[in-house]
Chain A
């Protein structure tokens, strides 16, 4: 490891890896540090991603694709189900990844483009000079060293400690941190091409339970609940155990996964002097689904693009880096996050009766689009009363009268 790089990247998840690869490809000296001893493990994810968004970053490869998904099924609290299946011809819908391999692939690609990678190496503090981030103190197996960089990219995931040390408040409001538990279950009856989402206050208060196939007879079966609804005997894990007992009593657990997902608004600013914040660390995961793999890669790529220009121009001040913040925030991506945030805020207020009514009405629709958004939009068109309750949402959905 050298004492100076153009860019220092904290965290070897999808956000950090994409940023590292892009910057190395542009010829910058890049150092990526990951505090865990292995990239991609332990997994903290249900591993679902859309085909189209993934294609922006990497060619699909069977080595890290566990299952190809052709449709989704929504289960109402009263058990009513509705399926959305994609016409087979379309290239859309998604994959369930194998993130242990996928995350490694992204980091390998970054390394092959010239990025340095160091695992079991933790950033313990920023190097701050007059409020400007100039690098970080790194610790690896007891060895401590200061590494300087023109830009530090904080891609340190849901914990988001690095930016906090730099003075950015990254704390997630308790109610907006989904407390999650998941088992990788095998020997279970599932449709290997369908993701299934279970709604309801008994199943998962303010959240949902999911079954994401990982192949024949194997799936990520998990649950996320709002942390404010979590208490002894009713934690994510308790809800999951009850769900599994109800649906897959004979399943065998071969992996046990826990984690937190933020469903708050993104940070109000994702740059400061010498610092850029990407992915979960910036709180850009989707407020409805909790999905953040694409969001991390997308913000990682945008950050890399802006950082490259700033480094070449010799100005990495917060003002110079600001176009990154603007780029994601004012694009369709940022607007969708805001819209989905508002939709989420509405959905978490719904009683089971209302959820049932909604699923009943969706199941009568002939939906062509797969996305949550299309679903909600269609729903609102058909339930003008719902629209009234949503107040400001109407504009953000820009539904023509």
Chain B
């Protein structure tokens, strides 16, 4: 699943623009992930800061 390291996130929206599923949205300084996220990891590369990570954990 996609994990957002909020302490790192610069809420710039780079990730939002590359998400193939349209799953990410920036609501002011808060990045939200929609259920349609497929954990493809594309966004993790666009992030200038490394605030996004795909892990093996299952969503709770």
Q: Do A and B originate from a single complex?
A: yes
Q: Are A236 and B18 in contact (CB under 8 A)?
A: no
Interface size on B, residues (CB 8 A): 22
Residue of B whose beta carbon sits closest to that of A233: B50
**Contact residue among B14, B22, B27, B50 (Cβ-Cβ distance under 8 Å from A232):** B50
A122: chain B residues at CB < 8 Å are 27
A329: chain B residues at CB < 8 Å are none
Q: Are A44 and B12 in contact (CB under 8 A)?
A: yes
Interface size on A, residues (CB 8 A): 36
Q: Are A235 and B50 in contact (CB under 8 A)?
A: yes
Q: Are B27 and A179 in contact (CB under 8 A)?
A: no
Answer whether A160 and B45 are a contact pair too, CB < 8 Å, given A122-B27, A171-B22.
Answer: no
Q: Are B12 and A37 in contact (CB under 8 A)?
A: no
User: Considering the chains assembled together, what is the distance between the CA atoms of A260 and B13 in angstroms?
Assistant: 7
B45: chain A residues at CB < 8 Å are 174, 179, 227-228, 230-231
CB distance from A162 to the nearest CB of B (A): 11
B48: chain A residues at CB < 8 Å are 179-181, 230, 235-237, 258-260
Asked if A247 lies at the interface with its beta carbon under 8 angstroms from chain B, I say: no
Q: Which of B5-31 contact A (CB under 8 A)?
A: 10, 12-20, 22, 25-28
Answer whether A258 and B27 are a contact pair too, CB < 8 Å, given A179-B46, A179-B47.
Answer: no
User: Considering the chains assembled together, what is the distance between the CA atoms of A169 and B58 in angstroms?
Assistant: 29
Answer whether A159 and B26 are a contact pair too, CB < 8 Å, given A180-B48, A181-B49, A236-B48.
Answer: yes
Answer whether A260 and B28 are a contact pair too, CB < 8 Å, given A44-B12, A180-B48.
Answer: no
A258: chain B residues at CB < 8 Å are 10, 12, 14, 48-49
**Contact residue among B10, B16, B28, B47 (Cβ-Cβ distance under 8 Å from A161):** B16
Q: Which of A354-395 contact B (CB under 8 A)?
A: none
Q: Which of A123-179 contact B (CB under 8 A)?
A: 157-161, 164-165, 170-174, 177, 179
Asked if A36 lies at the interface with its beta carbon under 8 angstroms from chain B, I say: yes
CB distance from B49 to the nearest CB of A (A): 5
Q: Which of A215-272 contact B (CB under 8 A)?
A: 227-228, 230-232, 235-237, 256-260, 262
Asked if A35 lies at the interface with its beta carbon under 8 angstroms from chain B, I say: yes
Q: Are B19 and A171 in contact (CB under 8 A)?
A: yes
CB distance from B8 to the nearest CB of A (A): 10
Answer whether A174 and B18 are a contact pair too, CB < 8 Å, given A235-B47, A258-B48.
Answer: yes
A256: chain B residues at CB < 8 Å are 10
CB distance from B18 to the nearest CB of A (A): 5
Asked if B1 lies at the interface with its beta carbon under 8 angstroms from chain A, I say: no
B38: chain A residues at CB < 8 Å are none
CB distance from A228 to the nearest CB of B (A): 7
**Contact residue among A230, A231, A236, A260 (Cβ-Cβ distance under 8 Å from B17):** A260
CB distance from A123 to the nearest CB of B (A): 11
B16: chain A residues at CB < 8 Å are 158-159, 161
A177: chain B residues at CB < 8 Å are 14, 17-18, 46
Answer whether A158 and B27 are a contact pair too, CB < 8 Å, given A171-B22, A177-B46, A260-B46.
Answer: no
Answer whether A227 and B12 are a contact pair too, CB < 8 Å, given A174-B45, A236-B48.
Answer: no
Q: Are B13 and A174 in contact (CB under 8 A)?
A: no
User: Considering the chains assembled together, what is the distance between the CA atoms of A174 and B15 in angstroms?
Assistant: 9
CB distance from A368 to the nearest CB of B (A): 37
Chain A residues in contact with chain B, CB under 8 A? Answer: 35-37, 44, 120, 122, 157-161, 164-165, 170-174, 177, 179-181, 227-228, 230-232, 235-237, 256-260, 262
A-B CB contact pairs (8 Å), 6 listed: A120-B28, A159-B13, A161-B16, A170-B17, A181-B49, A227-B46
18 new A-B contacts, CB < 8 A, other than A158-B13, A174-B46, A177-B17, are A37-B28, A44-B13, A158-B14, A158-B16, A159-B17, A164-B22, A171-B17, A179-B14, A180-B14, A227-B45, A230-B46, A230-B47, A258-B12, A258-B49, A259-B12, A260-B12, A260-B17, A260-B48
10 closest cross-chain pairs (CB), A and B: A260-B14, A236-B48, A258-B10, A227-B46, A159-B16, A258-B12, A159-B13, A259-B12, A258-B48, A181-B48
